[in-house]
C-alpha cells in the first residue's frame, strides 16, 4: 500500500495579544463553518484502496509554533513507511521544507509535494519560527521527487516567495496555476494525477 501523509496549514502570531485579538475579531459566517470537505478530506476516496492517506492534526494550528510541530511530527514518523509521499499545504509546506532540511528522515521518501508554501514572508501573518533561512542539501538528498504547486493569483503567497523556492530547488518541478482560493478547494485533479504519476 502506498502511503500519503498530508500536513495541513495554519496561522502564526508573533505576539499573544495579536492572537487573542484575532480570535475576537476574525470575520465569521455560517457559510464558513458549514461542513464542506476539501481535497485533503477527499484524497483517500479519490486515490482509492491502493493508497493509505494519513491526515495528522498538528498542534494548535491557529497559533502554530514550529518547535511544537517538530516534536509531534518526529513522533509521528514512527508510523511512516518506505516510499511514502509527503504533502504540505501552506504552513504545512514550509514546515516540511524546514523539517527535512534539519532532520534525517527515518524512512525513504518517494516524493515531497509543497502546495502554496510560504518561504519567509506572508501577506496575512508573520511566519515566526517557521521562516526558512535556506533549504539544505539534506532536504534535496532525502525529499525524493520534489514538486511545488503555486497560485498565480493566490491572495496569501506572493510570487517572490515562489522565486525563493526556485532558487533553492532548481531541480524541482513547479506548477503555477490559478488559485484565488489558496488551494482551499474540493477538486484538485492536478494533485491526484501527480500523486499517481510519482507513485508508479
Is 90 exceeded by the pLDDT of residue 46? yes
Q: pLDDT band at residue 123, thresholds of 50, 70 and 90?
A: low
pLDDT of residue 52: 98
**C-alpha distances in angstroms, 166 versus 107, 146, 157, 159?**
26, 11, 14, 11
Cβ(88)–Cβ(113) below 8 Å? yes
Give the predicted TM-score (pTM) of the model: 0.95
Q: Tell how far CA 147 is from the center of its chain.
A: 12
What are the residue boundaries of the structural domains of the chain, listed by start?
1-11+34-150+195-200
Residues 6+ positions from 49 with CB-CB distance below 8 Å: none
Long-range contacts of 57-61, Cβ-Cβ distance < 8 Å, separation of 24 or more: 57/8, 58/7, 58/8, 58/10, 58/92, 58/95, 60/10, 61/8, 61/9, 61/10, 61/11, 61/91
Q: pLDDT band at residue 39, thresholds of 50, 70 and 90?
A: very high
Is 60 exceeded by the pLDDT of residue 158? yes
Cell triple for 45: 476516496
Cβ(47)–Cβ(4) below 8 Å? yes
Determine the Cα–Cα distance for residues 154 and 190; give it in Å rounded to an integer.
17
The architecture CATH gives domain 1-11+34-150+195-200: 3-Layer(aba) Sandwich (3.40)
CA atoms within 13 A on the CB side of 91: 26
Find the mean pLDDT for residues 10-38: 92
Cβ(117)–Cβ(97) below 8 Å? yes
Cβ(115)–Cβ(149) below 8 Å? yes
What does the mean pLDDT of the chain come to?
Answer: 94
At 5, which helix (H) or strand (E)? strand 2-7
Cβ(135)–Cβ(168) below 8 Å? yes
Is 70 exceeded by the pLDDT of residue 71? yes
Q: Look at 128 and 192; give whichever has higher pLDDT.
A: 192
Amino acid at each position: 500500500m502506498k502511503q500519503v501523509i498530508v500536513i495541513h496549514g495554519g496561522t502564526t502570531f508573533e505576539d499573544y495579544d495579536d492572537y487573542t485579538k484575532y480570535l475576537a475579531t476574525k470575520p465569521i459566517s455560517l457559510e464558513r463553518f458549514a461542513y464542506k470537505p476539501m481535497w485533503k478530506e477527499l484524497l483517500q476516496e479519490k486515490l482509492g484502496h491502493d493508497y493509505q492517506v494519513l491526515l495528522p492534526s498538528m498542534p494548535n494550528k491557529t497559533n502554530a509554533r514550529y518547535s511544537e510541530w517538530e516534536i509531534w511530527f518526529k513522533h509521528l514518523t514512527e508510523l511512516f513507511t518506505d516510499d511514502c509521499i509527503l504533502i504540505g499545504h501552506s504552513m504545512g509546506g514550509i514546515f516540511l521544507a524546514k523539517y527535512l532540511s534539519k532532520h534525517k528522515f527515518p524512512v525513504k521518501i518517494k516524493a515531497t509535494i509543497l502546495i502554496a508554501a510560504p518561504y519567509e514572508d506572508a501577506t496575512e501573518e508573520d511566519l515566526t519560527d517557521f521562516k526558512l533561512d535556506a533549504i539544505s542539501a539534506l532536504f534535496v538528498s532525502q525529499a525524493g521527487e520534489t514538486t511545488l504547486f503555486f497560485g498565480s493569483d493566490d491572495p496569501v503567497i506572493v510570487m517572490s516567495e515562489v522565486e525563493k523556492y526556485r532558487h533553492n530547488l532548481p531541480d524541482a518541478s513547479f506548477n503555477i496555476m490559478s488559485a484565488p482560493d489558496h488551494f482551499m478547494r474540493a477538486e484538485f485533479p492536478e494533485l491526484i494525477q501527480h500523486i499517481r504519476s510519482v507513485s508508479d
